[in-house]
Structure 1
Amino acid sequence: MKYLLVFLLSLFTILEGFTQHYWQQEVNYTIAVTLNDEQHSLTATAEIEYINHSPHELTFIYFHLWPNAYKNNSTAFARQQLINKKRNFQFAPDSARGYIDGLDFKINGQAAKFEVDPENIDIGKLILNQPLASGQRIHISTPFRVKLPNSFSRLGHVGQSYQITQWYPKPAVYDHQGWHPMPYLDQGEFYSEFGRFDVSITLPANYLVAATGTLQNPDESKKLDSLSAITAEKRIFRQAEDVFPPSARQTKTLRYTGDNIHDFAWFADKRFNVRKGEVELPHSKRKVTTWLFFLNKDASDWVRSMKDIKDAIHYYSLWVGDYPYAQATAVDGALSAGAGMEYPMVTVTEPSAIIHEVGHNWFYGILGTNERQHPWLDEGINSYYEFRIGQLTNRNYSQLEPLLTRDRIKNYRLQNIHSTALNLLMYQMGASRGLDQPIAGPAAAYTYTNYGSIVYLKTGVMLQYLANYLTQDRFDKAMQAYYQRWQFKHPYPKDLQAIFEESTGEKLDWFFQDIIGTTQTVDAALTHLNTTENPLQVTVENKTNLLAPVPVATRNADAQLLEVKWTKPGQAAQQLTFNRQNVHDVVIDPGYFLPELNRTNNRLAVNGFLKKVEPLRLQFLAGIEQFDRQQLYVVPVLGANTYDRIMFGGALYNSSLFQKKINYLFMPLYSVGQEELRGIGNINIRFLPKRLVQSVIVGLNAQRFGRFRKLESSVLVNFPKPAAGAYQQQLQLGYTNISHQEPLVNKAVDHGAAPPFGKNIEYNIPWLRYTYEKKNALQGFQAELNFDLLPTDTTAGLTRSGQNVLAGKLSLAFERYYAAKKRLAIRVFGGNFFGNASTIPPWFQLGMSSSLDYKKETIFLDRSQRQDNLAAFIRQTDGRDGGFRHFIPVFSSRWLTAVNLDADIPVVPVTAFLDLGTAHGAKELLYGTGLSVSLAKKFLQIYFPVAGSNYAQNIPQNLKEFQHNIRFQLQLNALNPFRQVADALR
């Protein structure tokens, strides 16, 4: 029995070893393709050898037909374009779209059945005539034709400039997790089988081609060498980029071959300049040829980028492993899917992105991960090496440099900030608002912003963090082992973690599971410093559940690092010892690698009374949080209204680009008219729950303008957690106290009753607001529900029991684009008072043209109605309640309803509008029509009434009244644009 048990255990172990044995499929291609540059189409034949190395018998093979992604508005690509707020493809004519057709599959010469997926027309299934057993191979052939789309994404053309990518029928990957059929996406890349390519391209003879593989035509190679020499001698590059020379009547056929590659792309243009170079690999000393194909535009940048392509090949080979191919090419072409796009041995890119895109030959080209499911294994690791080269060669500040010019970097005092802090900034901006997502997510699940800030930037910085923890040498050895074991294969995240743990001898769940797999952040703090003796003892506490190791450093008075030590993972509190000599302060994370949002507790001074207080520095407008200084931000502010006249002052606030736990803003303004202080003050506390909701904000807001004072407390809940295409909701509870001396309505509105000028009016309003919004590039829906508990007695300043009236307001808005920049919109509003509304004061009524703004939520130029000639309050409205664009002095203390319609007029930047409404006591349906003009991208919108109801004699009778009825949607008190700062920080 004992021996039987041993035998069974041994058999189980052997079987387990077999089941865990790695395998992958092999796909070899022979393709002949002809370009028709008049019809912008390809005609081709594909011969595919499919070898089944899996242990399973196959009865079908999934194929990708990705040109069909551009066929109609129902594809996954088209739907993702809408989610990411891109409309061009949605309204493209049929002539601009693309597809693949003419397929006629045969297997070993016999006709075979091919089924197109009804859910995704860019996926098909080839039904095998006979099952394909393990170890067997079949020959698949088909002709095909591709109608090339305009450049909406990766495949396409701009005139006669061609980007031929994801263009041929390609088998999907079959691995240990099964089949991986996937529709084409713009955000989200690919997963393909390795094999051999032999591709022949026929096209007019005066085209130049950059392609995957190695060119097999000696004459064409000599021609490219000659063109490279000519380009090298050029000093001036003409700028006639929009003119294509006529195509040659003669054609040529270029042949490219390549082994151990999983995709084939080519780019063709008659206007290319060519530069050739060479780089020696650091380990094997083999020579690799480099090519640049570029247009006259930005030619000087391309010439300078010869060093970039060489540096990429040299340093990736040095740090990861030698480049295995004979050449690498960078191409100047249409970039509708980003700043660059990589393919094996060739990339289409901007000069500034060459290092990143060429680096993808390792992390995508050689290590063929499933980018759609695990984009961080490709984009994130590649970004790490891009950052490393940039820091080594002092090439740039960070990947944010396209957004922050060097002048702006200097103006905002960012030139002395570590590049890692800049790379982490976009992630921190989102994470501090509860908008981040885990690194380990699938590509399609990310919001458009998070795909860049997390998959690329945060992942790159987190790998810098891991390299610093492990030491650079140990990190490099682990990555080199990963490269050697998994080159030309399909590794998964668990494989990367396994090799790192095997190579370093450390358990790294805290990194690969917690940092990569969750949105948890670190909050490390220096809590105690013993300065009385040498060595120096420092206590480090981690105040979160992410017990990751933390770097701690001592610095001298010149901020130079003296010693750096790391805490151990898995411990909440630890003590570190340092040499006491010349130490000025102790800091956490001097390299800004940690996924940390709170750096205020990251420094302790050795000497002085206030050891935990960082030096205070005033910063203009915005900045990046740093551990060794407490930054207060300041901007000058200018405002005006007819009561206070000119107001000037400034705004002082503690949070700018990303939010802190406690945020405050003080904006004092001096009123020239009243010789008194005015202004705004905000303070809020932000909570970031781990589940369900994005953020919870508890806030207090105070304002004083004109003859009113406002004090408001509120709790705002934002939910749900972010995801691509998700809706957004807010639930806000608040309590507002208002004290003022001016009426909210003029004499005409109150039907002759004398308004209580000079009388102090005070009231408190508990309120609730719920908003829902879901938008894509084509249409959007918004809903807002408000409940205000209004007092009937506003003299005592308190809401008395039994004297409350509940005001309920509901607005629903829907918009739909009928062209790329033209839309139709409808808004429906309904408001009602619940209770004895006859007792409420007139300033709580519902308005047909505007709300009466009894909670002081809108900026008005003439709230006090001191200037009859401006009629500012009458003409300037806030678009709430009935939302009429005409001024109709209709107010109701019962109920009111309205419909607002907008239709953009084709060709011209003019919108026609129609407002319809009625209210309790109204004797007729009220209406108003007119036109509006948008200026400065709708920042300023001017309304021109054409006709309206004759209720209250509203129709303009002369030019002066017509001018009065021109309404500016721009709120005029926003002579103070920095009021938006206060709103943003609330």
Structure 2
Amino acid sequence: MRLILLLLLAGPLLAQDGQYFQQSVDYGINARLDDRDHVLHAELRLGYINHAPRALDSIVFHLWPRAFSGDNTAFARQQLRNRSTDFHFAPPAARGTLDSLDFRVDSHPARFAYTADPDVGVLYLNEPLRPGATAAITTPFRVKIPESFSRLGHVGESYQLTQWYPKPAVYDRDGWHPMPYLDQGEFYSEFGSFRVTLDLPANYVVAATGVLQDQEERAWLLARADSTRRALAGRRDLPSGYVDESFPPSAAERKTLTYTAKGVHDFAWFADKRFMVLHDTLELADSPGTRGPADVWAFFTETEAALWKDATDYLKRAVRFYSDHLGPYPYPQVTGVQSALSAGAGMEYPMITVIGRSYTAYGLDEVLAHEIGHNWFYGILGSNERDHPWMDEGLNSYYEGRYTRQFYPERRGRQQVIPGREVETDALAYHYLARLGRDQAPDTPIDQLSAFNYWISAYSKPELVLQAVEERVGTEALDAAFRDYYAAWKFRHPRPTDFFAALAPLGVDDYVRDAMTSTTAGEFNRAARSADRSPGLSPPKLALITDAASERPQLFVSPLLGFNENDGVLAGLALHNRTLEPRRLEWLVAPLYGFASKELAGFAGARYRVVRPAEWLQQVVVGGGVQRFSDFDPPAVDRLYGYDRWALRSDFYLDHPASSQRSSRLYSQLIRLDRRRPDFGDGGVLLDRAETLTTHFLRAGYAARVEREINPVAYGVQLEYRNGGAQQFPAADYLRLDATLTGGYQYQADKFLRWRLFGGYFLQHDLREGNTAPSVSLSLVDNAASDYAYDDLYLGRSQDGWYQQQLGERQGGFRAPVAAAFPFGRSNDYLAAVNLDGDLPFPGPIGVFLDAGAYGYRPTLSSAQSNAVRWVGGLSVNLFQDQFRLFVPLLADADTRGLLEQRGNLLDRVSFRLNLSRLLPWQWIDELP
């Protein structure tokens, strides 16, 4: 009788082609919670029925609590890849594991071995398990419950027991699906039944998958729910935010609770002595497997109690909504839990969902609806979300969007991301990545998706695709296709091809297939990559604030205010066409007026991008621009002079797997620099005209970064050719090769050791044998005087005083504001440098630095080349995430120290880096990972 029941629970096991099958599992688990040590002592009994058409000699098990045991797990690596270091720096006492296993099969000891993933193992059967046969598997196990880093965990004595027991992996027509635990990405598990017994202190309130079998405990919960409802109704001080609520002592008495669940592939439970409880019932027509109304439970603490007082109403409405559109809810209860959660806003399990902070009533309702919807796509259909995340998250997001539009029509799926502008955030985010060539297909395995693309590919893009399908075929037709899909595949693990087949009668299966499995093929992808809208004949839309893309041509005008010492206060306008979404052609014109120089200044530029022109290219960007400012204020001359810098640039961004965290590009750049300088006639008479000095630079290079959180690294090589023109003094054409390697190590949370290596060598140089050291020489100190191609922005060029204390980070990168008048640290031959930084291991932005460099130079025309070594070190202050850094030199070699002392007191020797170029908005936005 038991075997027949399990076969029925598993659903259809063989399709007509004889290839479809699924296993079924009968779970029995006894667990005892020790809340003093945060440990579970448990026993597992499994009835594993083999429905495969072949015998099995082993069974793969998931032991997911072991994901929290060390840094060598897939979970730990993913955390770092997603730039979270909480687990990496957690002490051993905060981590968790699963151990004390002793597997037996049919009462006989059996060999068990772990795989390369510590949370995946293989149980080797003593005899092959024939088709249709059952193996009785038992083992004790102990779970050390970690602190809350993801789903399984505890915060004090609040427990979230999820993915907590040894679980057989899915074995289907593709074989075993071993899956290490991941925080970003969910699961693929086999259907079956559960009987779970929990032993814990008597004053814990427990919410769980399944049906509580203990009538005394149920009566206690119902009484608690009644008192909670009366207490909430009488309060006017319900909190809508976080409440630091202490835990009452655990009762000396213990209780034993039993839960049963059928037709599910997971079991989760939550325990907290502070839980308030609400209860209601829900009557659904045509709900198979339920007798009478379903129970509706809500468990929550004082935190956001003002929101949770209506939680049962939200839960009932969500269940009705999904039942009406997809098919009846088949389970006897539904539960929402407010608890600690470190894996998103909410997480679903069969019959139960846990929600973190929601902040607003709308936010709670929306997340509850989304997580309740997973009972259909994750719980009942049981898709392989690890390999096909969109089949759960994306399909569910489409219906969640319809839920919020129905009950919150004023929101229309739009949010205010900039003042006065509401945008469709899902469409904006997807278009943003697609138009930079950084999007990934929804049908990408989760562990290959970047963190940003997980949101876009698994959630946003599928919802947008289905909205487009709804517009084509109509809401009723699409709902009917979903209902047929749900009815045909519930409890059967459908695949992408099964979903596409369900849409075939609507004639949109190829449209959806292309959108889900590709970033380039198909109508939807091509439309998304098209950054330019058809302008038509409409007049341009004029706005002060950048907006989302529009069908009309757009022109944005913004006031600009700036300053440099030569031009004084700068005021003007920025005119551009850049929307929140990248465009194929983008341009910017920013004229400025200098109130001190009384000159026209500013900058202008345009760039054109081609997305994914080849498989190995993300995008190609070709652009050009000009900037014009004053930069020279010679003494005794009542006139300021300036420069025009023209540049053309091309960047080829190479494509790399997102999981590699690598980015790289090939680039070329042509610069024309026109500097306007005083012109003198015979006898040194100042002429009433300026002399224009023209220089050309041609660069080609390769740059790459690996954005690892603990030990990032970046490197690049560049060739630079300079042609100075005959009028230059001194004339200095050259060909130079530079190489840079930077890296770091995060030794504790947000505390880094950083290093940088630079090497430069002139392959050819007109001045190699000379002793002059013009600005184009290799330089230890990167200040405005050595910024010979005007690559960076400085507050004052050709200025004395504190303006010389603004430094960049090119070439030697010395943090010593040596005056440009001294031929210090310059070479026409070679230069090698190392820059070291270390954050001090206590709170605050204080660190230390050390720079050292070696270079070759000629003291006089007749002398042989000499080699010099210079160094400087001191304290640093890092503010605004590297946007502004101060450096106080305290130690140096004798020559460097002497030049620093000539500047004056300690304040005169301080240097700073102010990354003005990074403040230009589209530069840092488009560099988002």
After TM superposition, the score normalised by the length of structure 2 is 0.88
Corresponding residue for residue 616 of structure 1: 540
Q: What SS does the aligned partner of 2:260 have?
A: strand
Corresponding residue for residue 805 of structure 1: 734
Corresponding residue for residue 343 of structure 1: 349
CA distance in structure 1 between the aligned counterparts of 2:377 and 2:545, rounded to whole angstroms: 39
Q: What SS does the aligned partner of 1:511 have?
A: helix
CA distance in structure 1 between the aligned counterparts of 2:52 and 2:499, rounded to whole angstroms: 22
Corresponding residue for residue 250 of structure 1: 253
Corresponding residue for residue 763 of structure 1: 695
CA distance in structure 1 between the aligned counterparts of 2:430 and 2:174, rounded to whole angstroms: 32
Match of 2:296 among 290, 299, 307: 290
The answer on 1:371 being equivalent to 2:385 is yes
Aligned residues: 857
CA distance in structure 1 between the aligned counterparts of 2:902 and 2:281, rounded to whole angstroms: 78
Corresponding residue for residue 747 of structure 2: 818
Show structure 1 runs of 5+ residues with no match: 1-15, 521-544, 551-593, 604-611, 744-753
Match of 2:796 among 859, 862, 870: 862
Match of 1:694 among 600, 606, 618: 618
CA distance in structure 2 between the aligned counterparts of 1:331 and 1:248, rounded to whole angstroms: 22
Match of 1:112 among 102, 110, 119: 110
Question: How do residues 485-564 of structure 1 correspond to structure 2 at under 5 angstroms?
Answer: 485-501=488-504, 503-504=505-506, 506=507, 508-512=509-513, 514-520=514-520, 546-547=522-523
8 Å contact kept, 2:694–2:724: no
Q: 1:794 to 1:202 in 2, by over 3 A?
A: farther
CA distance in structure 1 between the aligned counterparts of 2:40 and 2:726, rounded to whole angstroms: 77
8 Å contact kept, 1:621–1:656: no
After superposition, give the CA deviation of every residue in 1:346-390 in whole Å (9 maximum; x if it has no partner). 111144211111110001000011111111100000000000111
Corresponding residue for residue 805 of structure 2: 875
Question: How do residues 741-780 of structure 1 correspond to structure 2 at under 5 angstroms?
Answer: 741=676, 759-780=691-712
Q: Which amino acid letter does the alignment assign opposite residue 725 of structure 1? A: S
CA distance in structure 2 between the aligned counterparts of 1:834 and 1:678, rounded to whole angstroms: 36
Q: 1:742 to 1:378 in 2, by over 3 A?
A: farther
8 Å contact kept, 1:412–1:620: no
Match of 2:836 among 901, 904, 907: 901
Match of 1:961 among 890, 894, 905: 905
Aligned-pair distance for 1:834? Answer: 1.7
CA distance in structure 1 between the aligned counterparts of 2:796 and 2:120, rounded to whole angstroms: 62
After superposition, give the CA deviation of every residue in 1:99-144 in whole Å (9 maximum; x if it has no partner). 1111111111111111111x11111111111111111111111110
The answer on 1:731 being equivalent to 2:644 is no
8 Å contact kept, 1:435–1:721: no
After superposition, give the CA deviation of every residue in 1:500-530 in whole Å (9 maximum; x if it has no partner). 22x54x3622322x1111112xxxxxxxxxx
8 Å contact kept, 2:532–2:583: no
Corresponding residue for residue 244 of structure 2: 241
Q: 1:674 to 1:205 in 2, by over 3 A?
A: same
Corresponding residue for residue 311 of structure 1: 317
Q: Which amino acid letter does the alignment assign opposite residue 626 of structure 1? A: S
Q: 1:982 to 1:60 in 2, by over 3 A?
A: closer
Match of 1:84 among 82, 85, 97: 82
Q: Which amino acid letter does the alignment assign opposite residue 661 of structure 1? A: R
The answer on 1:885 being equivalent to 2:891 is no
CA distance in structure 2 between the aligned counterparts of 1:808 and 1:742, rounded to whole angstroms: 30
CA distance in structure 2 between the aligned counterparts of 1:620 and 1:205, rounded to whole angstroms: 63
After superposition, give the CA deviation of every residue in 1:317-353 in whole Å (9 maximum; x if it has no partner). 0000011011111111222111111111111114421
8 Å contact kept, 2:469–2:508: no
CA distance in structure 2 between the aligned counterparts of 1:883 and 1:385, rounded to whole angstroms: 55
Show structure 2 runs of 5+ residues with no match: 1-13, 631-641, 679-685, 819-823, 858-865
CA distance in structure 1 between the aligned counterparts of 2:510 and 2:263, rounded to whole angstroms: 33
8 Å contact kept, 1:33–1:44: yes
Q: 1:955 to 1:739 in 2, by over 3 A?
A: closer
Match of 1:680 among 589, 603, 606: 603
Aligned-pair distance for 1:962? Answer: 1.2
Match of 1:334 among 331, 334, 340: 340
Corresponding residue for residue 862 of structure 2: none
CA distance in structure 1 between the aligned counterparts of 2:311 and 2:548, rounded to whole angstroms: 30
CA distance in structure 1 between the aligned counterparts of 2:42 and 2:925, rounded to whole angstroms: 56
Q: 1:51 to 1:395 in 2, by over 3 A?
A: farther
Corresponding residue for residue 475 of structure 2: 472
Q: Which amino acid letter does the alignment assign opposite residue 130 of structure 2? A: A
CA distance in structure 2 between the aligned counterparts of 1:294 and 1:395, rounded to whole angstroms: 28
CA distance in structure 1 between the aligned counterparts of 2:825 and 2:37, rounded to whole angstroms: 62
CA distance in structure 2 between the aligned counterparts of 1:222 and 1:17, rounded to whole angstroms: 45
Q: What SS does the aligned partner of 1:429 have?
A: helix
Q: What SS does the aligned partner of 2:558 have?
A: strand
Match of 1:942 among 872, 883, 886: 886
Q: What SS does the aligned partner of 1:897 have?
A: strand
Q: Which amino acid letter does the alignment assign opposite residue 597 of structure 1? A: S
Aligned-pair distance for 1:614? Answer: 3.1
After superposition, give the CA deviation of every residue in 1:427-459 in whole Å (9 maximum; x if it has no partner). 111111110111111111111100001210111
Corresponding residue for residue 455 of structure 1: 458
8 Å contact kept, 1:809–1:829: yes
Q: Which stretch shifts more, 313-322 or 630-639?
A: 630-639
Corresponding residue for residue 9 of structure 2: none
8 Å contact kept, 1:765–1:788: yes
CA distance in structure 1 between the aligned counterparts of 2:671 and 2:156, rounded to whole angstroms: 60
CA distance in structure 2 between the aligned counterparts of 1:671 and 1:375, rounded to whole angstroms: 55
Q: 1:967 to 1:21 in 2, by over 3 A?
A: same
Aligned-pair distance for 1:942? Answer: 1.4
Corresponding residue for residue 542 of structure 1: none
CA distance in structure 2 between the aligned counterparts of 1:634 and 1:19, rounded to whole angstroms: 64
CA distance in structure 2 between the aligned counterparts of 1:704 and 1:959, rounded to whole angstroms: 31
CA distance in structure 1 between the aligned counterparts of 2:436 and 2:524, rounded to whole angstroms: 22
Corresponding residue for residue 914 of structure 1: 850
Q: What SS does the aligned partner of 1:944 have?
A: strand
Q: 1:225 to 1:632 in 2, by over 3 A?
A: farther
Q: 1:162 to 1:651 in 2, by over 3 A?
A: same
The answer on 1:212 being equivalent to 2:209 is yes
Aligned-pair distance for 1:282? Answer: 5.3
Q: Which amino acid letter does the alignment assign opposite residue 343 of structure 1? A: Y
Corresponding residue for residue 606 of structure 1: none
Match of 2:122 among 121, 125, 129: 125
Q: What SS does the aligned partner of 2:377 have?
A: helix
CA distance in structure 2 between the aligned counterparts of 1:182 and 1:263, rounded to whole angstroms: 15
Q: Which amino acid letter does the alignment assign opposite residue 873 of structure 2? A: T
Q: What SS does the aligned partner of 2:734 have?
A: strand
CA distance in structure 1 between the aligned counterparts of 2:914 and 2:247, rounded to whole angstroms: 46
CA distance in structure 2 between the aligned counterparts of 1:854 and 1:396, rounded to whole angstroms: 56
8 Å contact kept, 1:762–1:794: no
8 Å contact kept, 1:462–1:595: no
8 Å contact kept, 2:334–2:352: yes
CA distance in structure 2 between the aligned counterparts of 1:144 and 1:229, rounded to whole angstroms: 38
Corresponding residue for residue 73 of structure 1: 71
Corresponding residue for residue 3 of structure 1: none
Q: Which amino acid letter does the alignment assign opposite residue 712 of structure 2? A: G
Aligned-pair distance for 1:246? Answer: 1.2
8 Å contact kept, 1:817–1:823: yes
Q: 1:641 to 1:770 in 2, by over 3 A?
A: same
Aligned-pair distance for 1:255? Answer: 1.2
Q: Which amino acid letter does the alignment assign opposite residue 342 of structure 2? A: S
Aligned-pair distance for 1:472? Answer: 1.4
Question: How do residues 640-679 of structure 1 correspond to structure 2 at under 5 angstroms?
Answer: 640-679=563-602
Q: What SS does the aligned partner of 2:810 have?
A: coil
Aligned-pair distance for 1:23? Answer: 1.9
8 Å contact kept, 1:709–1:738: yes
After superposition, give the CA deviation of every residue in 1:571-624 in whole Å (9 maximum; x if it has no partner). xxxxxxxxxxxxxxxxxxxxxxx64534522x7xxxxxxxx1334223333321
Match of 1:173 among 158, 170, 173: 170
Q: 1:712 to 1:143 in 2, by over 3 A?
A: same
8 Å contact kept, 1:734–1:767: yes
